Amino acid sequence: MSEDPGAARRARMEALRAQEQAKARQRRMLGIGAVVLVVLLATGGILWATLGSSSKSPSASAASGAFCGNVASGDPSTKQWSQPPAMSIDTKATYTATLKTSCGDIGLKLDAAHAPKTVNSFLFLAQQGFFDHSHCHRLTTNGIYVLQCGDPTATGTGGPGYKFDDEYLNDPAIQGGTYPAGTLAMANSGPNTNGSQFFLVYKDSQLSPNYTPFGTITSGLDILTHIAQDGSDNSNGQGDGKPNDTVVINSVPVVKH
């Protein structure tokens, strides 16, 4: 039977369209920055997607109801430091932290052995109360499934004033281009630009291994799933925006084991 040229052409077009959609998902990376920054290379290249400042305050998000109604009184931190904290953790010890959020507790196990600088910074900021009363400002629900937190300004542009290098990008778990559900990792605006913003993966997500994995979610994945189901304001039209739930980190107690 002779091949139908029209059918073959349509098949090629469908295949190209599927490839472009896959590339687009990869390019919607997790970032931090002052404005939306797009770097387009001749090859069709790299997109560093960042959430810029917004005229909408965090409290203007859609009502969260009883599920995320436990918001502790207090104001987000304004502390800043010019340098990363001196190394003070025991890399042979096990550290755990609890994100005590307005939606419930999310347990974390931190990987001090493989990501010592990252864990050291996270613990320092937690102990300084830097995360207290901060809103988790970004929820992605298309291709990348994460809740992003750690910015007291809730704009996607904030940080502690310092930056530090990436770690453990050779983690076997992320080498296939997927960050597994339950991963705790750093957001960034390019290589070696880690600050305070981090993301919690609630479902396997297609991401290049450019974001330092520094722990795992040990409890509360159901809470993240509930937040995701409640959706976001979808400010960029691609399943990416401020959570509809009012997700506030009330405190982050840490324990050394």
Q: Which residue(s) pair with 141 in the sheet?
A: 145
Per-residue burial over 168-177, b = 16 or more CB atoms within 10 Å of its CB, e = otherwise: beebeebeee
pLDDT score of 27: 45
Q: Within a 10 A sphere around the Cβ of 147, how many other Cβ atoms?
A: 27
When pLDDT is averaged across residues 232-254 and rounded to a whole number, the result is 93
Phi, psi angle pair for 146, to nearest 5°: -140, 155
- Percentage of residues in the chain having pLDDT higher than 90: 71
153 — pLDDT class (breaks 50, 70, 90): very high
pLDDT in tens, 158-171: 999 999 999 999 99
Domains annotated for the chain, with CATH where assigned, are: 56-256 (2.40.100.10)
pLDDT average, residue stretch 134-163: 96
Q: Per-residue pLDDT averaged across 133-138, rounded?
A: 98
Cβ neighbour number for residue 210 with a 10 Å cutoff: 18
Among 253, 255, 256, smallest CA distance to 132 is for: 253
When pLDDT is averaged across residues 217-234 and rounded to a whole number, the result is: 96
Q: Residue 156: which pLDDT band, with cuts at 50, 70 and 90? A: very high
- Better pLDDT: 34 or 195: 195
Phi-psi region of 179 (alpha: psi -120 to 50; beta: other; left: phi over 0): beta
Residues near 14 by beta carbon (within 8 Å), at least 6 away in sequence? none
Please tell me the predicted confidence (pLDDT) of residue 225: 97
The model's pLDDT over 195-206, given as tens digits with 9 standing for 90+, comes to 999 999 999 999
Whether 25 has a pLDDT exceeding 80, the answer reads no
Mean pLDDT of 83-93: 97
pLDDT of residue 235: 81
Return d(Cα 114, Cα 93) in angstroms, integer: 12
| pLDDT mean over 203-225 | 97
Mean residue pLDDT across the chain: 84
Tell me: the pLDDT tens digits for 91-115?
999 999 999 999 999 999 999 999 9
Query: CB under 8 Å to 165, separation ≥6 — which residues?
Result: 117, 192, 194
**CB-based contact 151:157 (threshold 8 Å):** yes
Instruction: Give 43-71 pLDDT, tens digit per residue.
Output: 232 222 333 333 333 433 344 456 899 99
Share of residues in the chain with pLDDT > 70 (%):
74
- pLDDT greater than 60 at residue 238: yes
pLDDT of 240 strictly over 80: yes
